[in-house]
């Protein structure tokens, strides 16, 4: 699983920073969270393929999070995309985002399927699920949670103790007891459940603690302002870097990635430092920041 933070600026781009977009690659699928203006170029800059995108999740319809959509889809058409693409948008905003796209790009050689997103599970497969929960911004805004299904694993040390190998391990994982070298061995003797990985994407919001996001391996959280600008964060319904760190702590997250910085913040180390006072494993992402988990 690889996560690339493609754009880290809020409201407007800067010379160094593009607008919000985070790309998660997982077993041949590509999940794009938000699509700020210029996202297609960020893919090229950082050596990622936008043709791999299977789903796009829009947090909300403020321009800095959606203006990249028509350009991105048009270029996909130019490159011969045929595979359908799914676009999730908060339910009351679907009509506007869809109209915005269709007005500028009336026809595409592949189907763009818009889905209304609301708090709860959006969809799931055998291997993972994607859920949403409500944030607290000036308009409907959703956080998205990618969660891998738990997996059954065989404890290597125990397999060695019992001398187990080959197809019999598969039978144990499938829930069968087996007779092996004169002993009866059951799944609970060697098989355990490994929890799936969880990635949480939180764009524009005041701090929100949701059970859906508890125990995230990676929390990607907006940090538009510094703590010295807290009043502005409250008025504009955004978070400070320190508040993002407090959210990470309350959620029991393992790692925090800050993004969506006001263009006025030149020195990201200030955001990172104030967050670290509350939560140690934090990084203020530059464009192109990548992590594999
Ligand atoms: Zn924004
Ligand atoms: Zn916004």
CATH number of the structural domain spanning residue 271: 3.60.15.10
The verdict on 265 and 178 lying in the same domain is: no
pTM passes above 0.95: no
Rounded Cα distance between 70 and 102, Å, is 8
Distance between Cα 63 and ligand 2 center (Å)? 8
Task: Find where tokens 């080959």 sit.
Answer: 166
The verdict on 71 and 46 lying in the same domain is: yes
What residues flank ion ligand 1 with Cβ within 5 A? Answer: 64, 204
DSSP class per residue in 3-70:
EEEEE-BSSS--SS----EEEEEETTEEEEE---TTHHHHHHHTT--GGG--EEE-S---HHHHTTHH
- The per-residue b/e assignment along 231-256, b for 16 or more CB within 10 angstroms, e otherwise, is eebeebbbbbbbbbbbbbebbebebb
Q: What is the pLDDT of residue 38?
A: 98
How far, CA to CA in Å, does 213 sit from each of 25, 82, 230, 247?
19, 34, 24, 10
The verdict on 223 and 102 lying in the same domain is: yes
Distance between Cα 206 and ligand 2 center (Å)? 11
Domain that residue 27 falls in: 2-150+195-292
The verdict on 60 and 176 lying in the same domain is: no
The verdict on 175 and 235 lying in the same domain is: no
Q: For residue range 156-180, list pLDDT tens digits in order.
A: 999 999 999 889 999 998 899 999 9
Point out the ligand nearest to the CA of residue 19. Answer: 1
Distance between Cα 218 and ligand 2 center (Å)? 22
Domain count, the chain: 2
Distance between Cα 159 and ligand 1 center (Å)? 51
The verdict on 41 and 131 lying in the same domain is: yes
The verdict on 122 and 163 lying in the same domain is: no
Q: What is the pLDDT of residue 100?
A: 96
Point out the ligand nearest to the CA of residue 206. Answer: 2
The verdict on 170 and 237 lying in the same domain is: no
Rounded Cα distance between 23 and 247, Å, is 22
Q: For residue range 131-148, list pLDDT tens digits in order.
A: 999 999 999 999 999 999
Q: pLDDT means per 10 residues in the chain (293 residues)?
A: 98 97 97 98 98 98 98 98 98 98 96 98 96 98 97 91 90 91 92 94 98 97 97 98 98 98 94 98 98 96
Of 191, 216, 240, at which residue does a domain stop? 191
The verdict on 11 and 134 lying in the same domain is: yes
Rounded Cα distance between 5 and 106, Å, is 30
The verdict on 169 and 47 lying in the same domain is: no
The verdict on whether 64 is a catalytic residue reads yes
Q: What is the pLDDT of residue 219?
A: 98
């Amino acid at each position: 699983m690889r996560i690339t933070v493609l754009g880290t600026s809020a409201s407007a781009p800067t010379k160094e920073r593009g607008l919000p977009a985070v790309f998660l690659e997982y077993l041949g699928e590509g999940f794009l969270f938000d699509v700020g203006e210029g996202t297609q170029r960020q893919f090229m800059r950082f050596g990622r393929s936008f043709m791999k995108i299977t789903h796009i999740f829009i947090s909300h319809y403020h321009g800095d999070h959606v203006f990249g959509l028509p350009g991105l889809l048009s270029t996909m058409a130019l490159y011969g995309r045929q595979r359908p693409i799914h676009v999730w948008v908060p339910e009351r905003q679907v009509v506007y985002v869809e109209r915005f796209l269709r007005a500028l790009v009336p026809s595409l050689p592949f189907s763009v399927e818009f889905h209304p997103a609301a708090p709860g599970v959006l969809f799931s497969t055998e291997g993972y699920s994607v859920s949403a929960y409500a944030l607290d911004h000036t308009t409907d805004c959703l956080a998205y949670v990618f969660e891998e299904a738990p997996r059954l694993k065989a404890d290597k040390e125990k397999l060695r103790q019992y001398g187990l190998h080959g197809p019999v391990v598969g039978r144990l994982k499938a829930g069968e007891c087996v007779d092996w070298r004169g002993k009866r061995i059951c799944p609970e003797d060697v098989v355990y459940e490994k929890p799936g990985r969880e990635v949480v994407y939180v764009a524009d919001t005041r701090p929100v603690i949701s059970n859906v996001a508890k125990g995230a391996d990676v929390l990607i959280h907006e940090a538009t302002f510094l703590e010295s600008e807290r009043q502005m964060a409250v008025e504009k319904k955004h978070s400070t870097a320190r508040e993002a760190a407090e959210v990470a702590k309350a959620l029991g997250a393992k790692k925090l990635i800050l993004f969506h910085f006001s263009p006025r913040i030149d020195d990201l180390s200030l955001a990172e430092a104030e967050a670290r006072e509350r939560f140690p494993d934090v990084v203020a992402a530059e464009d192109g920041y990548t992590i594999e988990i």
